[in-house]
């Protein structure tokens, strides 16, 4: 594709001030693609943050409807990218074409969801306490609160969703929706894809009259630290490894002015198979689990990494069937050489442990990821060993057998924070094990019943978050419309005349919002 320049996107322009260059790689062959990317210089990081900072005031003061137009225009531009774009993403990531088409729809759908949020207006959190001049002993002044963007946001995309969690993904969409300009750090695993998507965003920004610094993108290894340290950056969105997310969180916390980081990091997504369900549909569960573990080469944040069952002849049968199915799964190409290397290291680490046995899987090769099934002694978790707590990114999972419900409860108590927890259960199971629900609720962002955690709906009710180390702050989600909350802060006006108030707070309610007025929700005009 001829328009992939490989230069930074700064303030609506392209820039290549640095000398270092990088190449994008064909994920299947390992060969360099014919695109050169310029690593951002320190100066370019500064310029990108400065552009975002300049854009913040005009951008955040646009009406929500104008920002919605912008998001919709991005969605249209992305939907309009041609067949050569799809082919390019497939080459860079080794993900199949159908998946990329689906992910593109997900990405544009996500942008349109945030456009709806902007039109609905509840994200503004409008609250009005009218003056009480006669109140005894002291009068009350008129006080009105709404929410504004926190400022420019640095976004670090994920390797595993080159579209939906990347350049125009959920973090970017929610930050822009909140009125926050974005400086995006392009992922080294799909730089050409990022270049195309950034161009689409810039076209949409120009078409809808956005400030030129509303979206910026920089390339390069190691430029992320400078970005997070830049004074103008006021929040960070990140999806990736625990090590990477924690490093950025630490960096952000140590700034002269600390800033919030929402890092989505590591989750082993326990799946608990309860006895009745196992008795009734053990084979089906084995098949479904195999599909979930291997979906997309296991490269999902929500891939089931820990399968838990109660010791029984049925569970032994299930184990056998599951092992057989896992053994039959073909090797798959991973997103990039780094992911494959990590996968191999993860397998080696776990396989070498004395309390872990290998149930299925071909020896791990040098080109593709071989699906693997392990079984671990429950005592490993009960003793607080960290071995099983961190995710292995790839098509591997670990079975754990517990003696009885008490041990199951102890095992769940021992788990760290998770994105998801899944129960495979019949009604009789729920009746018997219902007390586990609050235990799971306390550990995760999403509880599933008789489903599989891979596949994260983009909707108002979705939570893709959870206690550490699933994320750096359990109070947020990086998928679904609530993601906008991470980048908003409240401001109130005391005793201001109507014409100087933001529209959300004006008496005649020009945005038609449902507002908390004197403690009651109301869509009324106050005139």
- Residues labelled catalytic: 264, 301
Site for a second copy in 118-137 (CB under 8 A): 120, 122, 125, 127-129, 137
Evaluate the omega torsion of the peptide bond into residue 474 and state whether it is cis, within 30 degrees of 0: no
Binder among 18, 260, 298, 361 for a second copy (CB under 8 A): 260
Q: Do β-strands 235-239 and 153-156 pair in parallel, antiparallel, or remain unpaired?
A: parallel
Nearest residue to 454 via CA among 484, 479, 472: 479
Please state the φ and ψ torsions of residue 258, each to the nearest 5 degrees.
-60, 150
Q: What residue ranges in 361-476 does DSSP mark as E strands?
A: 372-376, 396-402, 418-424, 444-449
Which residues have a Cβ under 8 Å from the Cβ of 495 and sit 6 or more positions away? Answer: 131, 141, 142
Cis peptide before 137 (omega within 30 of 0): yes
User: Minimum CB separation from a second copy for residue 309, in Å?
Assistant: 20
- What is the DSSP-derived secondary structure letter of residue 8? E
Q: How far apart are CA 274 and CA 276, in angstroms?
A: 6
383 binds a second copy (CB under 8 A): no
Residue selected from 472, 478, 506, 509 as contacting a second copy according to rule CB under 8 A? 472
Residues 173-192 contacting a second copy, CB under 8 A: none
Candidate residues 112, 185, 190, 446; the one interacting with a second copy per rule CB under 8 A: 446
Contact 365, 344 (CB under 8 A): no
Figure out which of the listed residues 21, 29, 43, 61 binds a second copy, where binding follows CB under 8 A: 61
Contact 400, 411 (CB under 8 A): yes
Residues in the chain: 527
- Nearest approach in angstroms of CB 325 to a second copy is 23
Sole residue written with tokens 């409807």: 65
CA distances from 203 to 73, 199, 200, 208, 251 (A): 9, 6, 5, 9, 33
Interface with a second copy (CB under 8 A), residue from 18, 151, 170, 361: 151
**How far is the C-alpha of 231 from the C-alpha of 213, rounded, in Å?**
16
Q: According to the binding rule CB under 8 A, does residue 377 interact with a second copy? A: no
Q: Which is nearer to a second copy, 114 or 343 (CB)?
A: 114
Q: Which is nearer to a second copy, 155 or 200 (CB)?
A: 155
User: What is the C-alpha end-to-end distance of the chain, expressed in Å?
Assistant: 57
Minimum CB distance to a second copy, residue 514 (Å): 6
Q: What is the contact mask toward a second copy in residues 202 to 241, using x (rule: CB under 8 A)?
A: ----------------------------------------
Nearest Cα residue to 418 out of 454, 343, 371, 470: 470
444 forms part of the interface with a second copy (CB under 8 A): yes
Are 399 and 374 a contacting pair, CB within 8 Å? yes
Does residue 284 bind a second copy (CB under 8 A)? no
SS (H, E, C) 201-215: HHHHHHHCCCCHHHE
- Count of residues near a second copy by CB under 8 A: 80
Beta carbon nearer to a second copy, 182 or 326: 182
CB 35 within 8 Å of CB 24: yes
Member of 376, 463, 484, 504 binding a second copy (CB under 8 A): 463
Q: Which is nearer to a second copy, 145 or 212 (CB)?
A: 145
Other beta carbons within 10 angstroms of residue 243's beta carbon come to 11
Q: Is the peptide bond before 364 cis (omega within 30 degrees of 0)?
A: no
- Phi and psi, residue 215, nearest 5°: -140, 130
CA 523 from chain centre, in angstroms, equals 33
What's the min distance (Å) between Cβ of 162 and a second copy? 20
Minimum distance from CB of 201 to a second copy (Å)?
A: 24
Cα angle: 177, vertex 163, 91; to 5 degrees: 160
x/- letters, 294..333, toward a second copy (CB under 8 A)? ----------------------------------------
Task: Out of 28, 76, 86, 496, name the contact with a second copy by CB under 8 A.
Answer: 496
Q: Report the nearest approach of a second copy to the CB of residue 82 (Å).
A: 21
Least spacing, CB of residue 340 vs a second copy, in Å: 28
Q: Per-residue x/- mask for a second copy, residues 398 to 437, rule CB under 8 A?
A: ------------------xx---------x--x---x--x
User: Which residue in 20, 42, 84, 250 binds a second copy (CB under 8 A)?
Assistant: 250
Quote the least distance from Cβ 327 to a second copy, whole Å.
28
Task: Identify the three-state secondary structure at position 241.
Answer: coil
Indicate which single residue of 134, 138, 354, 384 sits in contact with a second copy (rule: CB under 8 A).
Answer: 138
Among 32, 65, 221, 253, binds a second copy (CB under 8 A): 253
Per CB under 8 A, the list member of 92, 465, 478, 504 interacting with a second copy is: 465
Q: Which of 462, 484, 504, 511 binds a second copy (CB under 8 A)?
A: 462
- Closer Cβ to a second copy, 1 or 437, answer by number: 437
How near is the Cβ of 367 to a second copy at its closest, in Å?
A: 31
73, HSE (Cβ side, Cα atoms, 13 Å): 21
């Amino acid at each position: 594709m001829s328009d992939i320049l490989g230069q930074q996107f700064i303030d609506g322009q392209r820039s290549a001030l640095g000398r270092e260059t990088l190449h994008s790689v064909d994920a299947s062959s390992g060969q360099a693609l014919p695109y050169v990317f310029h690593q951002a210089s320190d100066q370019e990081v500064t310029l990108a943050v400065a552009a975002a900072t300049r854009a913040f005031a005009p951008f955040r003061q646009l009406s929500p409807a104008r920002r919605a137009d912008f998001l919709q225009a991005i969605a249209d531009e992305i939907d309009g990218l041609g067949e050569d774009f799809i082919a390019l993403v497939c080459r860079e990531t080794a993900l199949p074409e159908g998946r990329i088409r689906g992910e593109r729809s997900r990405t544009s759908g996500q942008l349109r969801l945030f456009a709806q949020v902007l039109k609905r207006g509840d994200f503004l959190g409008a609250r009005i306490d009218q003056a009480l001049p006669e109140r005894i002993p002291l009068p009350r002044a008129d006080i009105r609160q709404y929410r504004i963007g926190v400022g420019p946001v640095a976004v670090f995309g994920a390797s595993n969703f080159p579209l939906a969690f990347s350049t125009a993904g959920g973090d970017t969409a929610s930050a822009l929706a909140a009125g926050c300009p974005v400086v995006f750090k392009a992922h080294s695993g799909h730089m050409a894809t990022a270049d195309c998507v950034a161009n689409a965003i810039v076209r949409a920004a120009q078409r809808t009259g956005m400030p030129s610094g509303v979206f910026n993108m920089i390339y390069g290894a190691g430029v992320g630290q400078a970005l997070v340290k830049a004074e103008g950056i006021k929040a960070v969105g990140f999806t990736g490894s625990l090590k990477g997310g924690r490093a950025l969180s630490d960096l952000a916390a140590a700034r002269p002015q600390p800033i919030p980081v929402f890092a989505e990091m590591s989750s082993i997504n326990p799946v608990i198979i309860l006895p009745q369900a196992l008795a009734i549909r053990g084979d089906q569960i084995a098949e479904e689990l195999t599909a979930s573990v291997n979906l997309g080469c296991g490269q999902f944040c929500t891939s089931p990494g820990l399968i838990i069952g109660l010791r029984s002849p049925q569970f032994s049968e299930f184990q056998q069937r599951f092992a057989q199915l896992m053994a039959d799964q073909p090797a798959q190409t991973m997103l990039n050489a780094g992911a494959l290397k990590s996968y191999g290291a993860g397998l080696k680490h776990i396989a070498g442990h004395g309390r872990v046995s290998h149930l299925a899987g071909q020896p791990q090769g040098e080109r593709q990821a071989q699906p693997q099934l392990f079984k671990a002694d429950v005592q490993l978790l009960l003793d607080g060993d960290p071995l099983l707590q961190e995710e292995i990114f790839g098509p591997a999972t670990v079975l754990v057998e517990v003696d009885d419900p008490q041990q199951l409860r102890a095992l769940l108590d021992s788990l760290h924070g998770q994105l998801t927890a899944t129960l495979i259960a019949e009604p009789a199971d729920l009746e018997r094990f219902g007390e586990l629900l609050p235990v799971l609720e306390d550990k995760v962002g999403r509880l599933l019943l008789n489903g599989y955690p891979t596949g994260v709906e983009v909707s108002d009710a979705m939570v893709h978050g959870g206690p550490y180390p699933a994320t750096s702050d359990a109070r947020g989600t990086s998928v679904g419309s609530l993601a906008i909350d991470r980048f908003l802060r409240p401001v109130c006006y005391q005793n201001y005349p109507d014409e100087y108030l933001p529209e959300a707070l004006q008496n005649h309610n020009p945005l038609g919002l449902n507002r908390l007025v004197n403690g009651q929700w109301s869509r009324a005009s106050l005139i």
